[in-house]
Amino acid sequence: MMVIAALGALALSEYEEAASVAFLFSISEYLENRATQKARIALDDIVHLRPDRANLLEDEGGSGGGEHVEIVSVEDLEVGSRVSVRTGDKVPADGVVISGSSQIDESSLTGEARPVDRKEGDSVSAGTINVGLTRLIVRTTSSSEDSAVSRLIRLVEEAQSNRSPTEKIVDSFARSYTPVVVGIALIISTIPWLIGGKEVGRHWTLNGLILVVIACPCALTISTPVTYAAGLAAAAQKGILVKGGAKLEALGCVRTVLFDKTGTLTEGKFKLKHLETVGNSKTREEVLRLLATMEAPSSHPLAATLVDAAKNEGVKMSDANGRPLLLDDHTILRGEGVTAILDGHKTYVGNVRLFQRLGYYQNLHPSHQKAATQWNEEGATVGFLGIDTLGIVAMFSVCDSVRKEARHVVQSLQAEGIEVIMLSGDGDGAARAVGKEVGINAEHIHSQFLPEDKLHFLANLQGYGAGRKKMVGGGSVVCSKQNELMLLCGDGVNDAPALAIADVGVAMGEGAAVAMEMGDVTLMDCNLEKLLFCMRMGARVIVTVKENIAISVVSKLIVTILTFCGKMSLFGAIASDVGVMLLVSVNGMKLLPGGGFCCLKWRRKYTEVQTQYNEDADIV
C-alpha cells in the first residue's frame, strides 16, 4: 500500500510527497524494530539459557587432584556422567551434587535474585550458575534435552507461537477492512476524473492515496502481538511460564481460584507429631521400621517424613537379626495410602478412609478414635498402620506448615472480588485449620477429596457457572465463560486430571518436569506471590490491548475525517501512521520492567555483563 501511494504521488508529480512516503515508511519499520526489540531480547535470553559445553570428569576415582577433565558438548553428556561446575560455570544438565558446597544462582529458572545453598546430595538444574567460591561435582540425572531448562525453552518457543483469540480477531479484521478501504480509494481516485476534470481529479486522487496510507494496518496489527510478547517476557523474567497469549489473556478473566492444600497452600514438608502403638503386638521401634519400609518406595512428601523419622530415632531397615524386611507387590492406593506384602503379611499405611473401607477403623478402641479426631481437629494429618492378621497396630499424625505468603495472596484475591476455594484430600480438621489460617471461608473448604473428586467438582462448578450466566445475561456461553473463568493451582502431579480441564491450570513444583508439561501456567518455584503477579499481568495485558486497539481505530477515523475535510496531506497521513504505531508499541512495552525502548542500549550492555559476571537484573 505504501508503494501504491508513492507511485501515485509520482504520477501526480508530487515528488516531495512520494519521497516522504518512502522515507517515513522506512523510518516506521526501523522504529517498529526498535520498539519490539526489548521483548525479543527478553525472550531470547531465556532461549539462550542452555549451556553449550560441559567439563566432563572421565575417571571414576574421587574428586581430588589429578582428575582428567574433558570439555565436551552438552549434547554428548550421558545420564550418570560426572561433571565439574566451577565458579561462574553453568550447570550443564539436571543432576545431584556429589561433592562440594556452594551457592547457585537459579534466577534463570525461578526469577529469584538471591542465590541458594547447594551441598552434597542436593539437586541442581541445568542453566543455573555456580556463583559461590567452591567447585561442585555433579552427577547428571537427565540428558541435556530432558533437562528442566530445555523443557522451559521448548515451552517458551511454543508460547510465542500460541496466538490469542484477540490477535486472531484483529488480524482477521485487518485483512477484511484493508481491501474495502483500498476499493473505496480506487473509486475516489478514478470517478472524479470523469465528472470533474483535471483539477478535481488530481485533488480526489491525492485524497484516495491518503486513504490507501490510512488503510495500512501497521498500528492495529502490531498493537496486540507486541503487548502479549511483553507480558509473556515480563512473566518469564519472574520465573513464570505462560503458554501463549491465549492463556495470558485468560488469566485476566479469572473470577474463581481453586487451591490444592498440600504442597500448594502449605509447604508440603511434614513433621511427625504423634506416634502411638495400638495394642501390644508391636513396639515403637518395630512400628517405625514397618512404616519406613512401606513408605520408602513412595514419592509422597508424607512418605519421606516417616522414613526420616525412623532414621532420626536410629531405627534400621532390618530386623534384630540384621535381615532386611521382604517387600513385595507395593501398590499406591490413590487418595488412601499404600499397601504391600511385608514379610508375608498384607500391610497397609494410609488415612482413615482406607481403614474404614477395610473395616479396621470400626474395631479401633474409642479412646484411640477420640485421639485421632483430636489430632485432626488440631490441623494434623492422621494416618494408621494396619496388618491383615492384627488390624490397626499403630496410629500417627504429621503436621505441615502454611506458606508464609499464602494468607496475603488469598486475601489479595478476595479483595479483588475473586472467589477462593480450597480442595484437600486430608480430613476435615486439617483442612479447616489451614483454611482458617489463610483466610478461606468455611463454606469454601472441601476435604477428603480424591483426585477424581476434584475433577468432578471442577466440572460441575464450570457447568453451573456457565449456565447461570447464560440465564441471567442472555449472552452466549463463550462470552460468559470468558467473564467467569476458573483457575486451579496445584502441584502438577496428584492434581493432573483437574489441571487438564480447568480454564487455566497453574502448576507448581520448582521446575519439575510434570509441572511444566501439565499446567497452562507454570510457577518455576513455589512462591504463591507469582500467581498473584501473573493474574494481575493478565488483567494489565487485556487493558493495554484495548487501549492500543482504541488508539489505532480512533486515529484512523480522525485522519479519515481530516482527509475528507481537505485538511490532510500524504506527509501528514504517513506521519500519523508512524506516530500511532510507535505509540501503541511503547504502550505495549510498558508491561516490561523499565518498559519502553529508551533503555535498549543498557539492556544489551547488561546482557553482556550478566554473561561475564553473573550479575542480577534487579541489582543492576
Catalytically active residues are 260
b (16+ CB within 10 A) / e for 13-25: ebeebbebbeebb
Terminal-to-terminal C-alpha distance of the chain = 44
Cβ-Cβ contacts under 8 Å for 149 (sequence gap 6 or more): 49, 50, 108, 109, 125, 126, 127
Sole residue written with cell 476435604? 447
Taking the C-alpha atoms of residue 59 and residue 239, their distance in angstroms, rounded to an integer, is 37
Other CB atoms closer than 10 Å to residue 513's CB: what's the count? 15
Using the 8-state DSSP alphabet, how is residue 268 labeled? -
Surface-to-core class of residue 101, CB atoms within 10 Å of its CB (0-12 exposed, 13-18 middle, 19+ buried): middle
Taking the C-alpha atoms of residue 487 and residue 247, their distance in angstroms, rounded to an integer, is 11
Other CB atoms closer than 10 Å to residue 161's CB: what's the count? 8
Q: For residue 423, what is the enclosing H or E element?
A: strand 419-423
Taking the C-alpha atoms of residue 221 and residue 225, their distance in angstroms, rounded to an integer, is 7
b (16+ CB within 10 A) / e for 163-185: ebebbeebbeebeeebeebbeeb
Taking the C-alpha atoms of residue 534 and residue 504, their distance in angstroms, rounded to an integer, is 12
| 3-state class (DSSP) for residue 331 | strand
